[in-house]
Structure 1
Amino acid sequence: MTRMKKYVTAAAVAAALVGAPTMAHAIATANTPASMAGIQTAAAAKASSSASVRVVAPGERIAAAPKVQLWLTKDGKHWSTPTMTNQFRSVTDGNIDMSRPGVSLQAEPVEGRYFLSGVYNGKGDAATVKVKTEQGTVTGTIVRLAGKPGWGAWYATSKLPNGPKSKDGKRSFVHSVTVYDAAGRTIAKMTSPSFG
């Protein structure tokens, strides 16, 4: 019986030693989800910041807002809303001066919000667009074709404006539209546009 106790004791010690790395592994594994959560959070933050740029194929339609589609062709920006289908802003008809940086704005109410969009051109790779409105600043999404066409489009949504229009029937709801590169440098800016 004494010999049997020695074998059982030896087996228990061996199991404990063999189990030691397993226990360490279990402790490391138990800590991994927390550290992985930090890594995943950082990755999600990076993904969300890069999610403000969409590279599309010519004619590829994207859902820019509820019931709004937007697409690009080599000739410009196209979009459709429930009340106005197949709208177009050309980059080839001469209405946009492609020799210097610029950004345009089109705005219309859709589903209880303003759908804001436009075309930009300038040097650098656009990373984000900020639209300063009377109700605060909204961050939009850049849409561009693959390669370096020198222009792209942007879109955002905002709450509808408050208050009455000015005497001329227009209001300056959007104060500025600025397109930035990844380093925060301004590619193009429009200040104080007015629309009815």
Structure 2
Amino acid sequence: MSPQPESERLRRIFAEAALAVTPSAVPLAAIEKAGRRHRRRRTTVLSTACGLLLLPLAATTVHLASPETTTIGQPAPPTASARVVAPGERVQVAPKVSLWLTKDGKHWSTPTQADQFRSITDGNLDMSRPGVSLQSEPVDGTYLLSGVYHGKGDATTVRVVTDKGTVNGHIVTLAGNPGWGAWYATNPLPHRRLPTGPTSADGKDDLVKSVTVLDAAGRTIAALTHP
């Protein structure tokens, strides 16, 4: 037999050695366990990420819904403000009707009665305690209600309860917080015969049930009630 080349001899040696080696079993259980652990880790990461994405949406929903639950049904505070005038400065309170103040009291004029006056110094008003006066008269298809108020605090609005409902009126005052001022409002004419001139009833007219002067916080400065 002729000698074999060196390369062929080496190949045969390696082949015989490979056939003598027994391969180990594939670790299927370990691979499966590792796969389950990997899937759980991926699921946890995805759940956390989704939760972080949904959290801002939930917070936004609560933020938008809160104002509705806290404001519905609550009464609004008074938003009017008193008109501060100089002595003698005229304010148009209705068509052809003007009102002005001096240090002595309230003045007003209507088409039928000019230069009317309600004094705060003649002793007819007890200025030592809070109070409200009332004058009422028909003017061009409406009922003009007005008066003088006095008391502590900065008045901003007046609420008049009539036999037709509630009317929100206006406040006029002099600068310097003198402790008194005037108020006025208008109301539809009642379905009954009215006097042709002004009535200085100071609350004894059955058209008006009550007059309440309020400050900006809704606190009562002075009130008049007609039983």
Q: Specify if TM > 0.5.
A: yes
Partner of 1:156: 185
Name the amino acid aligned to 2:113: M
Q: Which runs of 5+ in 1 are unaligned?
A: 1-47
Summarize the alignment of residues 24-173 of structure 1 with structure 2, pairs less than 5 Å apart: 49-50=79-80, 52-163=81-192, 172-173=206-207
Say if 1:140 and 1:171 are closer, same or farther in 2 by CA, change over 3 A. closer
1:55–1:171 CA distance, 2 compared to 1 (3 A): closer
Stretches of structure 2 that go unaligned for 5 or more consecutive residues are 1-77, 195-203
Displacement after TM superposition at 1:163 (Å): 4.2
Q: Deviations over 1:31-58 (max 9, x none)?
A: xxxxxxxxxxxxxxxxx933x4210000
Looking at structure 2, the residues matched to 106 and 78 of structure 1 have their Cα atoms a distance apart, in angstroms, of 12
Fraction of identical pairs, as percent: 71
Quote how far apart the aligned CAs of 1:60 are.
Answer: 0.1
Residue deviations 1:108-137, cap 9 Å, x none? 000100010000000100011000000000
Superposition TM-score, scaled by structure 1 size: 0.69
* Distance in 2 (alpha carbons) for counterparts of 1:113 and 1:164: 13
What CA deviation, in whole Å up to 9, does each residue of 1:45-79 have, x standing for no partner?
xxx933x4210000000101111000000000000
- Give the whole-Å Cα distance in 1 for the aligned partners of 2:205 and 2:101: 29
How well do the aligned residues superpose, as a CA RMSD in angstroms? 1.8
SS of the residue 2:79 aligns to: helix
Question: For 2:186 and 2:156, how far apart are their aligned partners in 1?
Answer: 17
TM-aligned CA distance change 1:181 to 1:171, over 3 Å: closer
Tell me which structure has the larger Cα radius of gyration: 2
Quick check: 2:157–2:214 contact (8 Å CA) kept in 1?
yes
> How many equivalent residue pairs?
141
Shift of residue 82, structure 1, vs aligned partner: 0.4
Is this contact kept in 1: 2:144–2:186, CA < 8 A? yes
1:146 to 1:171, Cα distance in 2 relative to 1, 3 A: closer
The 2-side partners of 1:117 and 1:71 are apart by 12
- Give the TM-score taking structure 2 as reference length: 0.59
Q: Residue type matched to 1:77 in 2?
A: K
User: Retained in 1: the 8 A contact 2:107–2:115?
Assistant: yes
